[in-house]
């Protein structure tokens, strides 16, 4: 029987959004003004691919249905980090983007200062959520600490923030494929990889399976960026829900280095690597396999 990825993703996205809404219902210690800004940044659409990967990795190793809502709560911590990064990335001092997902970006509605600050509040909120949700899954403090370390590692200077820094530093500079891959492995790949590892840790995976999930994540992260570069060159503003930006910013991309066909071939190679990592660790998951291919073929 073939796997209906479209239905799976739609269902997972709905469940993730319900869980995200609950996480934001009673945030502790937030000033009142920050609530609407955070809700706008976190709840206005998106593919929710990071929490979906986290829950899907968990299910691949631990098919017990019972605690899936608690795993989903844990998975929301990844989306909070992702949301903060997009809120900052769209600010006038960065990409200066008025639109994301076809909707006005938070700073165009609430102003720059409020958006900067509210987005920063999402970082400790995500760490606290990851800690509490891991303990709620009956793991001990050691595992909870490892989950938080994984999340913050993916988000930090050796992960997403470091990659963003490299990206800013390379604007207007021609960089080769090796540097481009390093940059994106950090900027986009590290948080995706963290999502898989967090799912694996929640499922109590052994080190070899954790490594396989991370290897899958690294490959899917690259595929994700390659697809982004292809879409940036080939898709319309309406289809993307934002203005394509790479050419304006004079950035090296997989498409500028390899052409659309070459970039696609590179993406296909990486999809194969992702699937091989799962096979070698005996991780059978129709969903993870289908997601790897979808990430390359997505249209937004
Ligand atoms: C100032 C150095 C510095 C860092 C601040 C802004 C920031 C932290 C990091 C930005 C990281 C960034 C923009 C990564 C790009 C990730 C990416 C591919 C975003 C698009 O993700 P999708 O396609 O978005 O999953 P949706 O809309 O589906 O949620």
Return the closest-CA partner of residue 111 out of 199, 56, 37.
37
Ligand 1 center to residue 9 CA distance, Å? 20
> Which residue is it, tokens 């793991």?
139
Q: What is the mean pLDDT of the chain?
A: 93
What pLDDT shows up at residue 170?
Answer: 92
Q: What is the per-residue pLDDT for 249?
A: 61
Residue 231 CB less than 6 A away from ligand 1: no
Task: Count other Cβ atoms within 10 Å, centred on residue 140.
Answer: 9
Q: Which ligand 1 atom is the nearest neighbour of the CA of 191?
A: 16
pLDDT category at 71 given cuts 50, 70, 90 is: very high
Predicted local confidence at residue 6, as pLDDT: 96
* Mean pLDDT along residues 243-249: 58
Q: Which of 4-18, 216-230, 247-261, 265-279 has the lowest mean pLDDT?
A: 247-261
Determine the average pLDDT of the residues in 51-73: 90
Range name among 54-63, 129-138, 230-239, 285-294 with the lowest pLDDT average: 230-239
pLDDT of 248 reads 53
- The Å distance, Cα 243 to ligand 1 centre, comes to 15
Structure tokens at 238: 């309406």
Q: Is 242 in the pocket of ligand 1 (CB under 6 A)?
A: no
Burial-class residue 142 by CB neighbours within 10 Å (0-12, 13-18, 19+): exposed
The three-class DSSP label of residue 47 is: coil
Pocket test for ligand 1, best of 50, 78, 85, 154 (most atoms within 8 A of CB): 85
Expressed in angstroms and rounded, the spacing between residue 66 Cα and the centre of ligand 1 is 32
Q: CB–CB of 270/222 below 8 Å?
A: yes
Pocket lining: 160 vs ligand 1, CB cutoff 6 Å: yes
The rounded Å distance from CA 89 to ligand 1 centre is 7
pLDDT on residue 22: 95
High-pLDDT (> 70) share of the chain, %: 95
User: Distance, CA 78 to ligand 1 centroid (Å)?
Assistant: 12
The rounded distance, in Å, linking the Cα atoms of 233 and 254 is 10
Percent over 90 (pLDDT), the chain: 85
Distance separating alpha carbons of residues 293 and 51, to the nearest angstrom: 18
Q: Nearest C-alpha to atom 4 of ligand 1 is from which residue?
A: 161
Q: Which atom of ligand 1 is nearest to the CA of 49?
A: 25
Rounded to whole angstroms, the Cα distance separating 189 from 181 reads 10
Distances (CA, A) of 86 to 91, 98, 118: 9, 12, 12
**Band of the pLDDT at 244, cuts 50, 70, 90?**
low
Residue nearest to atom 15 of ligand 1 (CA): 188
Q: Looking at residue 238, what is its pLDDT?
A: 67
Residues 6+ apart with CB under 8 A from 287: 3, 5, 8, 56, 59, 60
Distance CA 188, CA 208 (A): 23
281 lines ligand 1 (CB under 6 A): no
Measured distance CA(78)–CA(299) in Å, rounded? 23
User: Using a 6 Å cutoff on CB, does residue 8 contact ligand 1?
Assistant: no
Does ligand 1 lie within 6 Å of residue 161's CB atom? yes
pLDDT band at 64 (very low <50, low <70, confident <90, very high): confident
Candidates 252, 199, 205, 204; CA nearest to 225 is: 252
CB neighbours (10 Å) of residue 22? 13
- Looking at the chain, how many residues does it have? 300
Whether the predicted pLDDT of 190 surpasses 60 = yes
Q: Output the CA 40–ligand 1 centroid distance in Å.
A: 16
Is pLDDT of 1 > 80?
A: no
Instruction: Check if 95 has its Cβ closer than 6 Å to any atom of ligand 1.
Output: no
27-31, 131-135, 211-215, 294-298: segment of lowest average pLDDT: 27-31
47 in ligand 1 pocket by Cβ < 6 Å?
A: yes
239, pLDDT greater than 70 = no
Q: Output the CA 164–ligand 1 centroid distance in Å.
A: 8
CA of 1 to the centre of ligand 1 (A): 36
């Amino acid at each position: 029987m073939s796997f209906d990825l479209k239905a799976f993703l739609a269902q997972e996205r709905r469940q993730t959004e319900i869980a995200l809404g609950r996480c934001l219902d009673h945030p502790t210690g937030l000033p009142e003004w920050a609530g609407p800004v955070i809700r706008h940044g976190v709840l206005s659409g998106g593919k929710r691919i990071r929490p979906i990967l986290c829950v899907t990795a968990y299910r691949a190793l631990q098919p017990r249905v019972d605690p899936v809502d608690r795993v989903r709560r844990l998975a929301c911590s990844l989306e909070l980090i992702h949301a903060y990064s997009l809120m900052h990335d769209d600010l006038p001092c960065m990409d200066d983007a008025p639109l994301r997902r076809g909707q006005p970006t938070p700073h165009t509605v609430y102003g720059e200062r409020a958006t900067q600050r509210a987005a920063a509040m999402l970082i400790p909120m995500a760490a606290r959520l990851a800690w509490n949700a891991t303990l709620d899954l009956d793991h001990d403090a050691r595992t909870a600490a490892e989950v938080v370390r994984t999340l913050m590692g993916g988000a930090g200077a050796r992960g997403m923030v470091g990659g963003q820094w490299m990206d800013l530093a390379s604007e207007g500079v021609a960089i080769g494929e090796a540097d481009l891959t390093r940059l994106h492995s950090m900027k986009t790949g590290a948080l995706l990889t963290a999502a898989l590892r967090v799912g694996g840790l929640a499922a109590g995976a052994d080190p070899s399976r954790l490594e396989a999930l991370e290897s899958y994540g690294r490959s899917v992260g690259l595929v994700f960026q390659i697809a982004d570069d292809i879409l940036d060159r080939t898709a319309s503003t309406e289809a993307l829900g934002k203005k394509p930006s790479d050419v304006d910013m004079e950035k090296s991309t997989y498409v500028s280095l390899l052409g659309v066909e070459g970039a696609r071939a590179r993406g296909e190679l990486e999809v194969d690597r992702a699937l091989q990592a799962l096979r070698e660790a005996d991780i059978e998951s129709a969903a993870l396999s289908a997601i790897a291919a979808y990430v390359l073929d997505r249209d937004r």
